[in-house]
Structure 1
Amino acid sequence: MTTPTSPTRGLSRRALMTSAGTAALGVLGGVAGTRALAADAAPASETRPAAAPSGFASFSWLGTSGWKIRTPATTVLLDPYVTRFDTGLAAGRFAATARLRVDAAALDRALGRAGSADGVVDSILVTHTHWDHFADVPHLARTRGAMVFTTLTGYHLALAMGVPQGQLAVVRGGEEMRLGDLVVRVVPSLHSRTATGALLFPGVRTQRPARPRTIADLPEGDTLSYLLRSPQGRSVLLLGGSDYDDQALRGLRVDTVALPVPSTDVTAGYAERLLTVLDQPEQIVLVHWDDFETPLANPPRTSDATRTRMRDLTEQIRRLSPRTRVVEPEYGTPLDLL
């Protein structure tokens, strides 16, 4: 989890979470626009296809690392955290005991009403089980009948939160799956760390626990990423935390990366290693930077400190890979990535 902050507060919420243990939430909204933070991409190298995105899939950012992906045959969600609730951050009193809750009306507004054609969800991909990635997943699975692909920890947590066993699939990395007309590769990944090198809410669940009630009841539980491919061969890598496993990414051909903005400098060579191992992808979409405890509205809100981090990351990418375009999404605005 990266940790966004509110521009209206004197205390940096990122700084607060870094000292408390770093966490973040993202959310969804509804109106328009994306902004390119870097120059347009230079011509692609000979090692990459010249074909542009074909409009095969629509990617709509749900805040944090969340996405709604629609193709002609399927609708897939990644880390669909839409409910916002107070964890004490705004008051400078982050509480691991903050109670979990679900805002069903917000989910219907963001994803389409349950039972409607627009609200159909076929599959949900989970990168890890911190609350800002997982808390809405059990409700969505129960109300929309979606299949949930998650870690062993996510499997046991979802069971404890009322998801039928038949809607749960455990993945660990290396799987190649067809979900409708998408091919999805599960990629082992890593979670970001606090300024001290610690991990917020570490742990795994190897058996069904008591029903989770607080945010601390949803541990990280290992982290995955997902590579989505279109029939035309284009690919998008969706990361859920601001770290990754270089070896797991090696050899993958990736056109676009959804890249979380880190909230600390603990992860060494964050941009450089990624650009090297992925051979300078055409496009990077910045995610996991928005404030998660303010009303949903475009443009997404964040703190001045986070904006500085976003600018610094963009400048690093431009310097290291001038051909790579960097995009800042807005809530609910379709992007043509495949």
Structure 2
Amino acid sequence: MPNLDRRRFLRDAAAGTALVSTAGLAGATLAAPAQAAPPAAAPVAAAPAGRRRGPVSFRWWGTSGWRVDIGDRTVLVDPYLSRIDTGLFTGAFNQSTSLEVDTSVVDALVDRAATVFVTHTHWDHYMDVPYIAGRTGARVFGTLTAYHLGLAHGVPSGQLSPVKGGEVLDFGDHTVEVVGALHSRNLSYSMAFPGVRVSPPPKPATIADLPEGDTLSYQLRVDGGPAVFFMGASDFVERNLTGLAPDVAMVALPSSTATADYAARLLAALDHPKVVVPVHFDNFETDLRNPVPVAPNDRERLDEFIATIRRVSPRSRVLVPEYGTAYHF
């Protein structure tokens, strides 16, 4: 769940240098970008000796949502596609907004999923997950709150796997390490809808029924491919990141009162990834179409974040993503 002052968009003029190739979103057609996409560039870095680079693609679905295709296996992270209007970006935030999944949008984009990883259970990360689990049979990983909310939505317990941080899950051709994290905070050093669920509640009906429920990050390491770090909210536990050293880091735009020296400490803890991808800067209450809609009042914040990344981690390449574009790292 974002803060109102935490969104903005800048098309990175150097984005083309950070991606290997691009393609349309599998299983769906997004609106065409307002301008032609840059030509495919050379690979970000040559694969180390002895590692084979398999058919792996990463597609951003807005907020901190991702679709990762590893061969014929699809992994989802925070898949929020319904993008309902809560008034968050118009100054008329309605905490009683109903949870209404846009099944036509979800069905068009989610043709399959083996696993879903939930960073936290605010509506803009979790709301579509129970429907996706029912549609695909995917196994859902998340906090104990995510587990209990899944049960409340009717997801079978056999599809729900609670995790807390520290687990390294083996899926054969890839592993996923679960990392304990923190949620972003607003100017009052608080957040919307704090709290956890220690037992299944009544079926959630409004966005206020989906609390933060503790926050996780994930690192996916592909056999013969990249190690990619996923953040879902704008804060972190510095000590929990030691030793991860991802090739690529999907990092959330800092919130009003994130950890001091946010970018410098985050990227140093991650050992200065080769590619840094800012996320959670878009207006996620509009249609999922390019050019990416800018969240109000955040263009300057994103500019500053990119400039800071380049200053504190000059060897990292910054890629500002577009919706549905397939990136190959």
Instruction: Report TM bin, short chain.
Output: 0.7 to 0.9
Q: Equivalent residue for 1:145?
A: 137
Given the superposition, is the C-alpha separation of residues 160 and 198 from structure 1 closer, same or farther in structure 2, using an over 3 Å criterion? same
Q: Equivalent residue for 2:2?
A: 2
Given the superposition, is the C-alpha separation of residues 50 and 161 from structure 1 closer, same or farther in structure 2, using an over 3 Å criterion? same
- Indicate yes or no: 2:5 matched with 1:14: yes
> What secondary structure is seen at the aligned counterpart in 2 of 1:59?
strand
> What secondary structure is seen at the aligned counterpart in 2 of 1:105?
helix
Q: Which runs of 5+ in 1 are unaligned?
A: 4-12, 17-27, 112-118
Q: Which residue, out of 250, 255, 261, partners 1:258?
A: 250
Q: Which residue, out of 137, 144, 147, partners 1:155?
A: 147
- Distance in 1 of aligned mates of 2:176 and 2:70: 13
Q: Note the C-alpha offset of 1:171.
A: 0.6
Q: Equivalent residue for 1:69?
A: 68
> What secondary structure is seen at the aligned counterpart in 2 of 1:305?
coil
Given the superposition, is the C-alpha separation of residues 275 and 97 from structure 1 closer, same or farther in structure 2, using an over 3 Å criterion? same
Alignment of 1:142-221 (within 5 A): 142-221=134-213
Q: Equivalent residue for 2:327?
A: 335
Report sequence identity in percent. Answer: 47
- Indicate yes or no: 2:126 matched with 1:134: yes
Given the superposition, is the C-alpha separation of residues 229 and 91 from structure 1 closer, same or farther in structure 2, using an over 3 Å criterion? closer
- Indicate yes or no: 2:84 matched with 1:85: yes
* 1:157 counterpart letter in structure 2: L
Given the superposition, is the C-alpha separation of residues 15 and 189 from structure 1 closer, same or farther in structure 2, using an over 3 Å criterion? closer
- Indicate yes or no: 2:50 matched with 1:59: no
Q: Note the C-alpha offset of 1:76.
A: 0.6
- Corresponding residue pairs, total: 304
* 1:100 counterpart letter in structure 2: L
Q: Which residue, out of 289, 294, 306, partners 1:302?
A: 294
- Distance in 1 of aligned mates of 2:154 and 2:274: 41
- Distance in 2 of aligned mates of 1:285 and 1:134: 21
- Distance in 1 of aligned mates of 2:218 and 2:103: 26
Given the superposition, is the C-alpha separation of residues 143 and 42 from structure 1 closer, same or farther in structure 2, using an over 3 Å criterion? closer
- Distance in 2 of aligned mates of 1:235 and 1:276: 16
* 1:286 counterpart letter in structure 2: P
Q: Contact between 2:235 and 2:258, CA under 8 Å: does it hold in 1? A: no
Q: Which runs of 5+ in 2 are unaligned?
A: 8-27
> What secondary structure is seen at the aligned counterpart in 1 of 2:236?
coil
- Distance in 2 of aligned mates of 1:285 and 1:161: 32
Given the superposition, is the C-alpha separation of residues 53 and 235 from structure 1 closer, same or farther in structure 2, using an over 3 Å criterion? farther
> What secondary structure is seen at the aligned counterpart in 2 of 1:330?
coil
Q: Contact between 2:54 and 2:224, CA under 8 Å: does it hold in 1? A: no
Q: Note the C-alpha offset of 1:15.
A: 7.7
Q: Contact between 1:73 and 1:180, CA under 8 Å: does it hold in 2? A: no
Given the superposition, is the C-alpha separation of residues 224 and 247 from structure 1 closer, same or farther in structure 2, using an over 3 Å criterion? same
- Indicate yes or no: 2:100 matched with 1:101: yes
Q: Contact between 1:193 and 1:267, CA under 8 Å: does it hold in 2? A: no
Given the superposition, is the C-alpha separation of residues 323 and 248 from structure 1 closer, same or farther in structure 2, using an over 3 Å criterion? same
- Indicate yes or no: 2:311 matched with 1:319: yes
- Distance in 1 of aligned mates of 2:48 and 2:269: 18
TM-score (norm 2): 0.85
- Distance in 2 of aligned mates of 1:324 and 1:84: 31
Q: Contact between 2:189 and 2:257, CA under 8 Å: does it hold in 1? A: no
- Distance in 2 of aligned mates of 1:124 and 1:233: 20
**What is the CA deviation profile of residues 40-67 of structure 1, one whole-angstrom value per residue up to 9, with x for unaligned ones?**
99999xxx95899935311000100000
Q: Note the C-alpha offset of 1:72.
A: 1.2
> What secondary structure is seen at the aligned counterpart in 1 of 2:298?
helix
TM-score (norm 1): 0.83
- Distance in 1 of aligned mates of 2:52 and 2:125: 27
> What secondary structure is seen at the aligned counterpart in 1 of 2:301?
helix
Q: Contact between 1:41 and 1:322, CA under 8 Å: does it hold in 2? A: no
- Distance in 2 of aligned mates of 1:246 and 1:89: 30
Q: Note the C-alpha offset of 1:73.
A: 4.0
**What is the CA deviation profile of residues 270-308 of structure 1, one whole-angstrom value per residue up to 9, with x for unaligned ones?**
101012112211110111111112222201111462111
Given the superposition, is the C-alpha separation of residues 303 and 219 from structure 1 closer, same or farther in structure 2, using an over 3 Å criterion? closer
Given the superposition, is the C-alpha separation of residues 292 and 304 from structure 1 closer, same or farther in structure 2, using an over 3 Å criterion? closer
